[in-house]
Amino acid sequence: MTDRRYSYLGVDERWRLAHALRPIAESFGTLDVYLVGSVLERSDYRDVDVRLILPDCDFRVLFKWPDCLIDQFRLMLQTAISEMLQEQTRLNVDFQVQSQSECQKYKDRKRHGAIYVAYVNSESAREFIPQWARIAAKLLA
């Protein structure tokens, strides 16, 4: 029998992580925040890998400095957010920001939405989902 587990995080851990990620996702204006890595595959995971995926154009705007400064700023931002998430969730979180192009290099690997867990059916989701997504939903309904 195949294990169809969402991840090896407990329900309470997923809930804490989703709620801690919400203000971060809102700050970046995206719902593209994913769980990746060993936490999806085995119970003895070392850390909880979280990836925030930005469209290439947004990524370039955020990280527009010369290459040597991009890596320093990106590392500082990722480290600060990882430490904040670790404090809030009591999980060993490795948070990284990736461009859509960078993400495509790993398209064959497993990933699950990290925020969707807590907000898909909640009232606050209407405020959280960007305006363009609400318009698209109305057109498709």
pLDDT tens for each residue of 76-107: 899 999 999 999 999 999 999 988 888 888 77
| 3-state secondary structure string across 43-98 | CCCCCEEEEEEECHHHHHHHCCCCHHHHHHHHHHHHHHHHHHHHHHHCCCEEEEEE
The pTM of the full predicted model, rounded to 2 decimals, is 0.75
pLDDT at 113: 73
More confident residue, 73 or 80: 80
> Between 2.60.120, 2.30.30, 3.30.460, 1.10.3470, what CATH number should domain 11-140 receive?
3.30.460
Cβ-based neighbours of 116, under 8 Å, separated by 6 or more: 18, 31
Task: Indicate the average pLDDT of the chain.
Answer: 79
